[in-house]
Chain A
Amino acid sequence: MLVGAAPFGVIFGTLAIAGGIPVWATLALSAVVFAGSSQFIAVSLISGGAALPVLWLTTFVVNLRHALYSATLLPYARHLPARWRWPLAFWLTDETFAVVENQLRHHVGERNGAWYWLGSSLAMYLNWQVWTVTGVLVGQSVPGLATLGLDFAMVATFAAIVAPQLRDRPVLLAALAAGGIALLARDLPYKLGLMLAASLGVIAGVVAERRIRQGRAG
């Protein structure tokens, strides 16, 4: 997990600098937002001149899955005092959730469960900061990275993340709908086309999933 996050941290730092995001804001995104995919999307939206409400709403939609993690881990945190739950919630990410949920499910009721959770969170957090700084240094030491086509690296990164999910039929339909609408609505101001495309894509996926389930039942 720690190794798996490394290339994304480096790519994030490099892309943010190449995209014209100041160093302090790049480091702050990793330090206080600490949510990989929404950080990438924020770089793309901020350098593309998106309106703040669009940025915030996209962040909300993209990170809403953390509410599911928050709900899943609640049984293991119920007995903890607030001074534990507030910081543990801050560090809740995909990776931490995957590791901690797996550990706590198999070792229910062990007294050091919270320490395991805290340790995993801190390791993941420090790891992400180190690789972001590395990426920032790479971005700064190679001037003119943007003209080298580093903006393409963003497209390639997103494509590499999405493509394996497209084996699932409803996900494929969601992606096709979102991509098509995004292309048609690309001239809408403040990146509003992104919101429109993402919403209709999600609806397409949910509808497709229901139809497939009904088809199997009938």
Chain B
Amino acid sequence: MNGDLVLALAGMVVVTYGIRLSFLVFGHRLSFPPWLESALRYVPAAVLTALIVPMALAPQGSIDLSLGNAYLPGTVVAAGIAFITRHTLGAILGGFVVYGLWRWLI
């Protein structure tokens, strides 16, 4: 487990530092293609939504739309507050309150 973790972290460092070094240190040999710039706009939303949706709709592995799934109302409330107010911390706390109450009541 620890060996794997060291390897996992080492790979992340190489990848991340390599990206940051790219232009600042090797810039004279590179150019940034415009299509990549437009694709990058969609990466955060695509990756984060791909992580959220299965966790909110199928927390135990199979799709669960029943009242017993507290993840779903919690996620919807967190997303709703963030969408309307753009207040990240308030959205996380609001989602957490709904999730906690839901689990406690149902």
User: With A64-B19, A77-B24, A202-B39 in contact, do A152 and B74 touch (Cβ < 8 Å)?
Assistant: yes
Interface string of A119-139 (1 = CB under 8 A from B): 000000000000000000000
Q: Which residues of A contact B30 (CB under 8 A)?
A: 71
Are A32 and B24 interface neighbours, CB within 8 A? no
Nearest A-chain residue to B5, judged by Cβ: A25
Interface centre among A22, A157, A163 (most CB of B within 10 A): A163
Partner of B71, one of A32, A63, A77, A155: A155
- Confirm or deny: A142 has a beta carbon within 8 angstroms of a beta carbon on chain B: no
Are A62 and B96 interface neighbours, CB within 8 A? no
Are A201 and B37 interface neighbours, CB within 8 A? no
- Confirm or deny: A212 has a beta carbon within 8 angstroms of a beta carbon on chain B: no
Nearest B-chain residue to A157, judged by Cβ: B92
State the B residues within 8 Å of A (CB): 2, 4-5, 7-9, 11-13, 15-17, 19-25, 27, 30, 32, 35-58, 61, 63, 70-71, 74-75, 78-83, 86, 88-89, 91-92, 95-96, 99-100, 103
Sample (22) of A-B pairs whose CB atoms are under 8 Å apart: A7-B89, A37-B48, A38-B12, A55-B12, A65-B40, A71-B32, A77-B24, A85-B25, A86-B21, A89-B20, A153-B96, A156-B95, A158-B48, A160-B82, A166-B45, A178-B47, A182-B51, A186-B54, A193-B54, A201-B47, A202-B39, A206-B42
**Which residues of A (39-92) have their CB < 8 Å from a CB of B?**
41-42, 44, 46, 52, 55-56, 58-71, 73-74, 77-78, 82, 85-86, 88-90, 92
Chain A interface residue bracket vs B = 35 or more
How many A-B residue pairs have C-beta atoms within 8 angstroms? Tell me: 263
Nearest B-chain residue to A92, judged by Cβ: B20
User: With A152-B99, A157-B92, A166-B83 in contact, do A201 and B46 touch (Cβ < 8 Å)?
Assistant: yes
Interface string of A151-194 (1 = CB under 8 A from B): 11111111111111111001100111111111100110000011
Are B50 and A60 interface neighbours, CB within 8 A? no
Are A59 and B103 interface neighbours, CB within 8 A? no
User: With A38-B16, A206-B42 in contact, do A58 and B2 touch (Cβ < 8 Å)?
Assistant: no
Are A160 and B42 interface neighbours, CB within 8 A? no
